[in-house]
């Protein structure tokens, strides 16, 4: 599920929970999910997955490593305005020498930052 936490003011901080099951983002919206915030808001991502991987927001240079079945909290400021892809990159479970190569995936969601 991905949703803002209730009770947090719009101008200070927004919390989003990402739940991934079998490398798929779980949410109730028609895909792709769009997360909309205002420029300079403080963002907190709370991420869990039943498989290890990384959640990427490439335009911001954010790569959050997520271990299997552990909550990871990542905080940042929404500085740049625009529409940016959020992608999940599952960890390759092979034992081959190339096991750490990240697989490319289509966007799991979009992060949209609007000017104040």
The ranges assigned to domains in the chain are 13-114
| Range 78-108 burial, b when 16+ CB lie within 10 A, else e | beeeeebbbbbbbbeeeeeeeeeeeeeeebb
Whole-model pTM over 0.85: no
Fold assignment, 13-114: Immunoglobulin-like (2.60.40)
CB-count burial class (<10 Å; 0-12, 13-18, 19+) for 44? middle
pLDDT at 79: 96
- Over its length of 116 residues, how does the chain's per-residue pLDDT go in tens digits? 444 444 444 457 899 999 999 999 988 787 788 999 999 999 999 999 999 999 999 899 999 999 999 999 999 999 999 999 999 999 876 544 444 445 556 568 999 999 98
pLDDT at 11: 53
């Amino acid at each position: 599920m991905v949703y803002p936490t209730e009770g947090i003011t719009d101008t200070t901080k927004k919390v989003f929970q990402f739940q991934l099951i079998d490398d798929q983002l779980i949410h109730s919206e028609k895909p792709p999910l769009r997360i909309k915030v205002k420029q300079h808001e403080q963002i907190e991502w709370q991420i869990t997955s039943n498989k290890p991987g990384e959640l990427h927001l490439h335009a911001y240079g954010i790569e959050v490593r997520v271990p299997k079945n552990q909550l990871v909290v990542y905080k940042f400021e929404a500085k740049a305005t625009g529409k940016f892809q959020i992608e999940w990159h599952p960890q390759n479970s092979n034992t081959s020498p190339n096991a750490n190569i990240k697989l490319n995936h289509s966007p799991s969601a979009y992060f949209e930052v609007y000017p104040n």
